[in-house]
Amino acid sequence: MMQVATGVTYFMSIILLKEYFDTSFINTIFLAKVALITTITWLPLHLIYYILDFCDPSEVKKIMSAKNESAFN
């Protein structure tokens, strides 16, 4: 939620405060570079989180998994 709120605040500040931002350099190449940098920094941390969660799930996930398996049997 905070990441979305930060993004909305950033883009609204660009729209509302045009005299303080030089938007002439924002084009598709710039947006592609920003998306690439964001993905490179965001993806490894989330992949590590999901791999660790898969290898060593929390007690709640273990209990819920056991409960779901017993419901099908």
Q: How many CB atoms lie within 10 A of CB 14?
A: 13
Across all residues in the chain, what is the average pLDDT? 88
Tens digit of pLDDT for each residue in 10-39? 989 988 988 888 888 889 999 999 999 999
**Cα(52)–Cα(69) distance, integer angstroms:** 22
**Cα(57)–Cα(73) distance, integer angstroms:** 22
Entry pTM: 0.58
Q: DSSP secondary-structure letter at 27?
A: S
Name the pLDDT band for 57 (thresholds 50, 70, 90). Answer: confident
